[in-house]
Structure 1
Amino acid sequence: MIKLIASDMDGTLLGTRMNVPQENIDAIRFAEEKGIQFMVATGRGYTEAKPPLDEAGINCPMITVNGAQAFDKDGNNLFTVDFERENAKKIVAVLQAHHVYFEIATDHGIYSDNQHQRIENAAIMLANQLPHLTFKMAIAMAAAHLELLDINYITDYQELLNNGGIKILKFIAFAPEEIKILGPLREEIEKLPDLIVTSSYPNNIEINHIDAQKGIAVKHIAKDLGIPLNEVMTIGDNFNDASMLEVAGVSFAMGNAEEGVKKIARYETDHHMDGGVGKAIIRAIEENL
């Protein structure tokens, strides 16, 4: 029987308006009543991940920034995996040479050097998830959503890189033309040492330290809780979830997941807009997966 569930957020736990659908909330409550621990494992930073969980009344441990950090349910940091400064500077140099918009996740929140571009990228993500939206509507929704998040806007990333008191956890680069722009960029980035490149949407790449992966973090948390991996369940939709889908005894890909991700997971559930996480949790418990 499963004893620990780790779920991705975007495209997985969250629904149409970046909130947690009631079906998912009810299933999480049901699992907790059975003594099963629930947690999220997300590419978001802590300050981005917490608002929708608070709104849903979910107080749980969190793996954040693709495994670069983990927190207990009270918000206490369990571990952090960050970049060496010189490596971070090399990554920034490559990203800037390719003229792509990118953001930097740190242990002091998310940093962006272009508010307009951040809103536009969020709107593209919403428009892809909700095809009925006009782009104008997506822009309005994205702007309203981002106002709720604690984002640090900066004019020059060098200022951040020179601040030794802030740890660099992840880079996320965006481009609408995935193959033409992100393909060559990814090839160049992957030549640098001690990093891993994944993706959470077709229009981005995410760059973490090689030891900052969701699968590694899930193994770490499970070991600390004394839970064997065959009693761990993971749920995700994209390639930054692949490592945790691979290590868990029970793994579900969302109905909206990338085809390659579906091949990695043992089971498939419904679309994230149809309460797929809730359905997966109930199935796992009722069928004793």
Structure 2
Amino acid sequence: MTRIALVVSDVDGTLLTKDKVLTERAAKAARELRDSGIAFTITSSRPAIGMGFLIAPLQIDLPVGPFNGSSMIGPDMRPIEQSLIPADAVERCIGLLHQHGIDIWVFTADAWLTRNPDGGYVPNEQRAIRADPTIIDDFSPYLSNACKIVGSSSDFELLAACEGEMQTLLGSEATAIRSQSYYLDVTPPGRDKGTFVTAMAQRLGIPLDAVATIGDMHNDVAMFKVSGLSIAMGNASDDVKSHAKRVTTSNQDEGFANAMEMILAENAQG
């Protein structure tokens, strides 16, 4: 097996527990990667404002990939590369979500916008990203500044059906994929976690065969496809697991730490 030189991890459902906690064992495992010479960073559907709190405990010194990897920001939270969804695609996306009665959030580079402060998943997002939404009456002034649109709903079947409908509606103008059973993410075209992983490998001069990725949701499959070693969390669906080369334990059972310890042990064996 090729020695791993870079690990790229998803955040929610992978690095964090279901209660959005970074365990000490997970943080220690990430730091041990760096101490052993393995580069480490994270990519997530989260906005940039929701990733900063992880930089220090994980000792991340590389760019991270918010918005499903469609942007790249430095560990100092300053933008390196930023992609936006075309304004006409944003308008059509909002229209479709509204038509289905799905709660709509628009994320810009530095803000979370919603028309409904009482949406069912607003408290969940506040807790996850450690930021509050900006309440607005109209999305129109922000159509040209959208880094990500999220449709949130407790009707998981509706959201799954809307994912396919959204992909058809937007075509190549944007990417629509669920990051959680209750979140449908729409992000800029041609960018995903796979392109982020590829860009990071190129920045570091590392072949993709020497990259390991770990995640739990459909939006992680894109990075599974480009990395030499792909690891699905035990809490992932069977479909997501089928795209990974290995499966670790769940995020409630230190699955991230277990996977990192496995990589460290195998690298040590040469």
Query: Partners in 2 of 1:276 and 1:13 — Cα distance?
Result: 8
Query: Partners in 1 of 2:29 and 2:163 — Cα distance?
Result: 38
1:175 aligns with 2:177: no
- Residue 222 and residue 12 in structure 1: after superposition, are their counterparts in 2 closer, same or farther (change >3 A)? same
The equivalences for 1:28-177 within 5 A come to: 28-54=30-56, 56=57, 58-60=59-61, 61-117=63-119, 120-121=120-121, 142=124, 145=127, 148-161=130-143, 164=144, 167-177=145-155
Residue-by-residue CA offset, 1:142-197 (whole Å, 9 max, x unaligned): 49726931432222212322xx5xx2111111222222x22443333222232222
Query: Partners in 2 of 1:143 and 1:81 — Cα distance?
Result: 22
1:203 corresponds to: 182
Does the aligned pair in 1 maintain the 2:64–2:72 contact within 8 Å? yes
The answer to which of 104-113 and 209-218 deviates more is 104-113
Query: Partners in 2 of 1:170 and 1:156 — Cα distance?
Result: 16
Q: Which runs of 5+ in 2 are unaligned?
A: none
- Residue 93 and residue 52 in structure 1: after superposition, are their counterparts in 2 closer, same or farther (change >3 A)? same
Q: Counterpart of 1:252 in 2: which secondary structure?
A: strand
Q: Which amino acid aligns with 2:226?
A: V
Query: Partners in 2 of 1:229 and 1:57 — Cα distance?
Result: 23
Q: Counterpart of 1:13 in 2: which secondary structure?
A: coil
Q: How many residues align?
A: 263
1:185 aligns with 2:131: no
1:216 aligns with 2:195: yes
The answer to which of 255-264 and 189-198 deviates more is 189-198
Q: Counterpart of 1:193 in 2: which secondary structure?
A: helix
Query: Partners in 2 of 1:84 and 1:39 — Cα distance?
Result: 28
Q: Counterpart of 1:182 in 2: which secondary structure?
A: helix
Does the aligned pair in 2 maintain the 1:171–1:207 contact within 8 Å? yes
Q: When the two structures are superposed, what TM-score results if normalisation uses the length of structure 1?
A: 0.84
Query: Partners in 1 of 2:129 and 2:213 — Cα distance?
Result: 30
State the superposition RMSD in angstroms.
Answer: 2.1
Q: Which amino acid aligns with 1:280?
A: A
1:272 aligns with 2:254: no
- Residue 238 and residue 108 in structure 1: after superposition, are their counterparts in 2 closer, same or farther (change >3 A)? same
Query: Partners in 2 of 1:21 and 1:29 — Cα distance?
Result: 13
- Residue 143 and residue 262 in structure 1: after superposition, are their counterparts in 2 closer, same or farther (change >3 A)? closer
1:132 corresponds to: none
2:241 corresponds to: 262
Give the percent of matched residue pairs that are identical in Structure 1 and Structure 2. Answer: 25
Distance apart, 1:263 and its partner CA: 0.6
- Residue 193 and residue 230 in structure 1: after superposition, are their counterparts in 2 closer, same or farther (change >3 A)? same
Distance apart, 1:59 and its partner CA: 3.2
- Residue 271 and residue 184 in structure 1: after superposition, are their counterparts in 2 closer, same or farther (change >3 A)? closer
Does the aligned pair in 1 maintain the 2:50–2:129 contact within 8 Å? no
Query: Partners in 2 of 1:170 and 1:147 — Cα distance?
Result: 14
Distance apart, 1:116 and its partner CA: 1.7
Query: Partners in 2 of 1:83 and 1:182 — Cα distance?
Result: 20
The answer to which of 261-270 and 11-20 deviates more is 11-20
Query: Partners in 2 of 1:105 and 1:24 — Cα distance?
Result: 28
2:204 corresponds to: 225
